[in-house]
């Protein structure tokens, strides 16, 4: 029994261990058998395996690049388009910081609060200048000494000024000014409100202005608003000079007397800085030239004294249709005489000219003298709107 048991164990042990032995030796045998069938040396097989691995790696890299390459163009296109549009927008609305600061410096002049009220019964325009804010600093200390000038373009001789406010960029004016403006002239007038920086020893610098055409606003009610200040016009109004004359009209005799007294501050017309002025007096009837007279020539002067009188016969029934044109010319012996400036009076006139004419009609037989500023000749000619150059005979009484 013992012998049989030992024989059984002896025979059982190899059977129990045989699967392990087979499992451990079958794989190397299989791989070795498979490699043994390839008629190549061992080093050649290693080289082939390395080459295959390299090819697989390159293949994988190509696949990755192709897949990524399909997405990248869209991304690059979006980026390039954004860059182009961004650069264009930067040129149009987002300049460089230096340009932006320069532009801000040029445009930031402050703002003005004002009010307008028109009295239709009195035909008066009341302008209230309330306050200004955030004014541009004109002094080295970062402040300004602001004050205001207010006027209408229809009567530039009448200008109002406010008080000077020291060392402030936010002055509170609270001042009002009244202009006598006929209702018919309101649409043709422009309100100009200018803010200056006061300088004691040098020329006053203008900070900015607000120009408001009265035709663009409704004066049926009181207006109160803020407006930004803008740069004043660089074209300064040319000073042509002033002339003083008197008017006298006698309705009973129909005689209109024009006395040319003197002129001053005339524009320099000659190369030596002077002029040879003389005055022409035209009568316009129904927008057509009618009568003309002129003074003597005064040599080499900008402030001539004439004291010359002219008498015209104008029937009372025609006085409302007559315009009196006063013009000053520079005499020249060689070339054509040149006009220095003009103005006209009559029922179609405006400002001081209309008031002078109205005062003459309201005070018959009384001479009334007044100073007037000369205007550009083309401006007066356009306002007159002459129809022709024909001279008319005196209308029957």
Ordered domains of the chain (ranges, CATH): 111-228 (2.60.40.150), 242-384 (2.60.40.150)
Give pLDDT, residue 209: 93
261 touches 246 (CB < 8 A): yes
- Each residue's pLDDT expressed in tens, for the chain with a length of 397 residues: 444 444 444 444 444 444 444 444 444 555 566 666 666 677 777 887 888 888 888 888 888 877 665 444 444 444 333 433 343 333 334 444 444 444 444 568 899 999 999 999 998 999 999 999 999 988 888 889 999 999 987 776 678 999 999 999 999 999 999 998 888 878 878 899 999 998 877 778 899 999 999 988 888 899 999 999 998 875 445 678 899 999 999 999 999 999 999 999 888 787 666 889 999 999 988 878 888 999 999 998 989 999 999 999 999 999 989 999 999 999 988 888 889 999 999 988 888 889 899 999 999 989 999 999 999 988 888 888 865 444 444 444 4
- Radius of gyration (Cα) for the chain, nearest Å? 49
Query: Chain-centre distance of CA 91, in angstroms?
Result: 21
Give pLDDT, residue 187: 86
How far is CA 107 from each of CA 114, 139, 227, 268, rounded to the nearest angstrom?
20, 17, 13, 36
Strand partners, 372: 243
Write a three-state SS string for 76-96. HHHHHHHHHHHHHHHHHCCCC
Give pLDDT, residue 397: 43
264 touches 240 (CB < 8 A): no
- Total-model pTM: 0.42
Distance separating alpha carbons of residues 77 and 35, to the nearest angstrom? 53
- Alpha-helical segments (H) within the chain: 2-36, 42-92, 97-107, 351-362, 377-384
263 touches 303 (CB < 8 A): yes
Give pLDDT, residue 304: 93
Distance separating alpha carbons of residues 148 and 172, to the nearest angstrom? 11
Give pLDDT, residue 57: 86
Give pLDDT, residue 195: 94
Q: Which of 205, 174, 179 lies closest to 192 in space, CA to CA? A: 179
CA dihedral 148, 263, 380, 209 (to 10 degrees): -10
- On the 0-12 / 13-18 / 19+ scale of CB atoms within 10 A, 49 is exposed
Give pLDDT, residue 83: 39
């Amino acid at each position: 029994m013992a012998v049989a048991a030992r024989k059984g164990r002896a025979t059982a042990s190899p059977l129990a261990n045989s699967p392990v032995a087979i499992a451990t030796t079958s794989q190397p045998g299989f791989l070795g058998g498979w490699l043994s069938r390839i008629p190549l040396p061992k080093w050649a097989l290693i080289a082939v395996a390395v080459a295959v691995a390299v090819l697989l790696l390159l293949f994988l890299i190509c696949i990755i690049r192709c897949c990524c390459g399909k997405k990248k163009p869209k991304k690059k296109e979006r980026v390039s388009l954004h860059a182009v549009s961004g650069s264009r927008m930067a040129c149009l609305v987002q300049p460089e910081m230096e340009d932006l600061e320069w532009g801000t410096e040029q445009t930031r002049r402050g703002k003005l609060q004002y009010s307008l009220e028109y009295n239709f019964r009195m035909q008066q325009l009341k302008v209230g200048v309330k306050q200004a804010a955030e004014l541009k600093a004109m002094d080295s200390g970062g402040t300004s000494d602001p004050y205001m000038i207010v006027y209408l373009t229809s009567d530039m001789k009448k200008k109002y000024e406010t008080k000077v406010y020291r060392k402030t960029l936010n002055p509170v004016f609270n001042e009002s000014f009244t202009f006598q403006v006929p209702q018919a002239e309101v649409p043709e007038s422009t309100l100009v409100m200018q803010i200056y920086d006061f300088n004691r020893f040098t020329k006053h610098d203008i900070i900015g202005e607000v120009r408001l055409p009265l035709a663009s606003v409704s004066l049926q009610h009181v207006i109160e608003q803020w407006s930004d200040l803008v740069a004043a016009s660089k074209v300064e109004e040319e000073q042509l000079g002033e002339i003083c004359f008197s008017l006298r009209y006698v309705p009973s005799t129909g005689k209109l007397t024009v006395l040319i007294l003197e002129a001053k501050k005339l524009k320099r017309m000659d190369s030596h800085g002077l002029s040879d002025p003389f005055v022409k007096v035209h009568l316009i009837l129904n927008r057509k030239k009618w009568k003309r007279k002129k003074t003597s020539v005064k040599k080499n002067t900008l402030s001539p004294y004439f004291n010359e009188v002219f008498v015209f016969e104008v029937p009372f029934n025609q006085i409302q249709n007559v315009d009196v044109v006063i013009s000053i010319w520079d005499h020249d012996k060689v070339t054509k005489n040149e006009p220095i400036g003009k103005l006209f009076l009559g029922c179609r006139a405006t400002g001081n000219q209309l008031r002078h004419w109205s005062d003459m009609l309201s005070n018959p037989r009384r001479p009334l003298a007044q100073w007037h500023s000369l205007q550009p000749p083309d401006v007066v000619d356009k306002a007159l709107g002459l129809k022709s150059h024909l001279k008319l005979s005196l209308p029957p009484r």
